[in-house]
Amino acid sequence: MQVASLSSSSNVIGDSGLTLTVSFTTVSPFKSGYELQLKVPVYNPNAAAVNPGDMITSATPTCIGTLGMNSGLSCSFDTTTRILQLLGVSSTDLPGGTVMTFTVDNFRNPYNGMAKTGF
């Protein structure tokens, strides 16, 4: 991936039930049938280790491809590994340099205004 941006539907710290928009540009060709995985950081790394919380608050969020990918994506969020997995991304091979954008619901904004890393 060459360039990536993540944008929440709200600027309110700690707000939940939001939509996260993820956009990136591929470097290599993206083959039909490939899946995408996005590692999502812990909601609050300063919380007790047993319950730091997740920034995706559902194991079965809804993901929608809005640019460069199929709109009817299948996605799931593994709360153990904190990986968002998208299936059915593209039914055709795509060249490198393709801009891809999707949205995912059930997103929770970070607990403070500091820039969040780890995606």
The predicted-structure confidence for 28-84, as pLDDT tens digits, reads as follows: 999 998 999 999 888 776 666 555 678 999 999 999 999 999 998 999 999 889 999
pLDDT band at 117 (very low <50, low <70, confident <90, very high): low
Which structure tokens are listed for 3? 């360039």
Kindly list the strands in the beta sheet with 4-8, ordered across the sheet, starting from the edge strand earlier in the chain: 4-8, 18-25, 99-107, 63-67
On whether the 4-107 domain is CATH 2.60.40, my answer is yes
Average model confidence (pLDDT) across the chain: 87
pLDDT recorded at residue 111: 75
CA 74/CA 84 separation, integer angstroms: 10
Phi-psi region of 31 (alpha: psi -120 to 50; beta: other; left: phi over 0): beta
Q: Tell me the domain boundaries of the chain.
A: 4-107
Q: What are phi and psi of 60, to 5 degrees?
A: -130, 65
**What is the DSSP secondary structure assignment for residue 116, as one 8-state letter?**
P
What pTM value is reported for the model?
A: 0.86
Range 12-36 average pLDDT: 92
Range 84-99 average pLDDT: 94
pLDDT recorded at residue 48: 61
Helix (H, G, I), strand (E, B) or coil at 96: coil
CA 25/CA 14 separation, integer angstroms: 28
pLDDT recorded at residue 54: 86
